[in-house]
Every structure is written in C-alpha cells, then in structure tokens.
Amino acid sequence: MDIQLSIRGISKRWPNFELKSIDFEVNKGEYYALLGPTGSGKTLLLETILGFQHPDSGKVFVKGIDITEKPVEIREIGYVPQNSILFPHLTVMENIEFGPKMKGIKDNQMKDSVLKIIELLEINNFKNRMPSTLSGGEKQKVAIARAIATTPQILLLDEPLSNIDEETRQDLRIELKKVHKETGLTTIHVTHDKEEAYSLADKIAIINKGRIVQIGAPKEIYENPKDGEIARFLGYENIYNITSSANVREIKINGVNLIINEEIRNNCQVGIRAKDVIVNISSPKNLKNTLKGKITEKTFLGHSTLAMIEVGFNVTAILYNQKESNFEKGDEVYVTLPSTSIKVFSG
C-alpha cells in the first residue's frame, strides 16, 4: 500500500515531558488511532505532525515529501481539535466555506463540494444557524465538515468525541465511519478511549510516556497486550506477579497454584479480564483453576455487577446474570480462572 504519512525518529523535549524517537507509518486511506492515557504525549505528537511544534530531531513525511520545515498552512492537513473552535460570527455554512475560500477555490466549485459535505454529515437542517445555538455534537460535526472541506491529504482528529454525551458519542462514531468510507481520507484519530479506537481504527498505535509502545490491528492489540502496563490500560483488571513456578505452565500466585496455557518467561506477569472470570455458588465439576473464596466488595453497574473476591489473592469479576447479581458481600463462592483466558505479559 502507498504510505501517506511517515514519522521518522521524532523527538521533542519540553520542561516536564519528552517525545522519544517516535516511528510509525500510516497508509493511504487508513483510519489510524493513536491511543494512550492522559499525559502520554498524544496531542503533542499531533501538534508536531501539524507543525504547531517543531521537533528537536526526526522528520515528518507526507507522500514521501519531507514537510518538517514547512509552515502549517501549506501542509495540506485537516485538523479537528478537542474543543470545536468555530468562528462565532459566521453561520455553519460560512464556517465550512471559510477554508476553501482561503485556498482560493472558485465559488461554484466550492458550493458544490460544501453541499456534498453538508449532506454527508447531515448538517443541512442547521446550516444557516450560528454556532452559539448548536449542541456539542452538532459543533463537532461542523468542525469535521470544515476540516474536510479544505480537501486535505490527511485528517487529524484530537479527542473529537471526548466532550460530548454518551448517546451523541455513539452517533458520531457512526458518522466518522461513514465519512471515512465515503471520502477514503487518511485519518489519524487521537483518543484515550479504548472502545473508540477498537470500533473505528484499521490500526492502533499505543503511546505511553512519550513513546510508541505497541502497534497492531485492533483485535491483535485487544488480545495480546505487550506488557502488564499496557494490559492494565487496556482493561485487564486482574494482573499478578508470579511468586514461583513448578514448570512453564504451572504457577503460584501468593502460594495459590494455577495452570496456564502460555509459557511463562523471566520477569513476567499474568493477567485475566474480569469478564472472563467465572463465579459459581457451588464448586463446578472438572474445571481447573477453581478456587473457593469470599466476596469482599460488590458494586452495581446497571448492566452488570462488579465483585471483588478473596481467593488467597484478590480477583475482580463481572457478574452478568440475575442469579450471579444476587450474590452478597460476605458470600462464599467458587471462582474459576480459565487457563485459556490467562495471558502472560512482560513485567
């Protein structure tokens, strides 16, 4: 595939933070997510690609052309910031037309393309309104429309769904999928939301403490975190240090024996997601890694219940069905940690 964006050895030092030798490539037409916790360097990296920040070392290439020294306005990169900053004195339509006008695109040509974008993002019913009258979701739609109206080679989205309500966020995910499918625009989406990245991206790069620490397809990232720190960020509620091992597939955690499917390595940890832990009121037959324990905490989440269970070490489990949800704090239960669900990570 054609490489649209190439980041080579980007480093940048600030007083209290540093981007460290960032390398990755984005193929033409790819939807690429930069996923990481708050303070990991996502926005600073995006600003370096845009040209708002100049790297201390390294290069930024678009279609093989070095743009590291080029000014922001000629990089042909569309940008949607976290807070949709629309021109308050212009209507929605005028906001979207602003970029093409600045590029000198003729009115008749501009009108046709802008109307197509308005139709694509379903903005038509509020195209003549002022930004102050719009909801958060509507403002983000306009900001996205304004960015793609300039016909950029690359679209950068900086936490575009973070400041809107859950229902609108789900709707805008669908809109972003539709826009990407219709335009084929190479897109880089910065987010701390794992589900957002999984549902939208063709490829995910995880960034942490100023470094790219893992790159892969969403399913690969979800199923095979590189180490315990990434696993915890990606939702592994149960991560343990191995205290000893009899062989490569039998381990002890706090003196409790467990069988695992993967081979252990030096300085490794193991983990299991709360959703994969099985909880029963009586001991199930023929299930390995079944431990007797006691519920020490219980939290109702609406669609499920989160339980903390002491089995010689603490296990967090999600109780989904009605029978399980009726377990109470202090109840004795049997916890099964399926060996197929226990993952081995670097320490």
Give tens-digit pLDDT for 36-76. Answer: 999 999 999 999 999 999 999 999 999 999 999 999 988 99
> What DSSP assignment string belongs to 191-218?
ES-HHHHHHH-SEEEEEETTEEEEEE-H
Do 177 and 317 share a structural domain?
no
Between 38-42, 114-118, 166-170, the lowest mean confidence (pLDDT) is in 166-170
Residue 333 sits in a domain of what CATH number? 2.40.50.100
Q: Are residues 210 and 271 in the same domain?
A: no
Q: Which of 230, 258, 280 delimits the end of a domain?
A: 230
Are both 216 and 238 inside the same structural domain?
no
Average pLDDT, the chain: 91
Identify the pLDDT of residue 51: 94
What is the dihedral angle through the alpha carbons of 347, 23, 56, 74, rounded to the nearest 10 degrees? Answer: -150
pLDDT at 326 over 80: no
Tell me: pLDDT of 331 over 90: yes
Instruction: Look at phi and psi of residue 267 and say left if phi exceeds 0, alpha if psi is from -120 to 50, else beta.
Output: left
Q: What is the CATH number of the domain that holds 73?
A: 3.40.50.300
Residue 338's pLDDT is: 95
Please check whether residues 222 and 272 belong to one and the same domain. Answer: no
pLDDT at 247 over 70: no
Res 265: pLDDT: 75
State how many domains the chain has.
2
Give per-residue pLDDT as tens, 180-235. 999 999 999 999 999 999 999 999 999 999 999 999 999 999 999 999 999 999 99
Per-residue model confidence (pLDDT) at position 30: 97
Whole-number pLDDT of residue 301: 84
pLDDT score at 177: 93
- The DSSP symbol for 274 reads G
Whether residues 246 and 207 share a domain: the answer is no
Boundary (domain end) residue, out of 206, 230, 254: 230
The β-bridge partners of 270 are 240, 344
> What are the tens digits of pLDDT across the range 119-162?
999 999 999 999 999 998 899 999 999 999 988 999 999 999 88
**Of 70-84, 139-153, 316-330, 332-346, which gets the smallest average pLDDT?**
316-330
Q: Are residues 95 and 185 in the same domain?
A: yes
Query: Quick one: pLDDT at residue 111?
Result: 80
The whole-angstrom separation of Cα 257 and Cα 333 is: 18
Residues 121 and 139 in one domain: yes
Q: Say whether both 182 and 239 belong to one domain.
A: no
Question: 100 pLDDT band (50/70/90 cuts)?
Answer: confident
Cross-strand partners of 291: 335
Q: Are residues 75 and 138 in the same domain?
A: yes
Are 190 and 239 within one domain? no
Identify whether residues 121 and 243 lie together within a single domain.
Answer: no
Same domain, 184 and 266: no
Which residue range is the domain that position 225 belongs to? 3-230
Domain end residue (candidates: 205, 230, 255)? 230
pLDDT digits (tens, 9 = 90+) for 252-310: 899 899 999 988 877 789 999 999 999 998 888 888 999 999 999 999 888 888 999 99
Question: Tell me, what's the pLDDT at 69?
Answer: 95
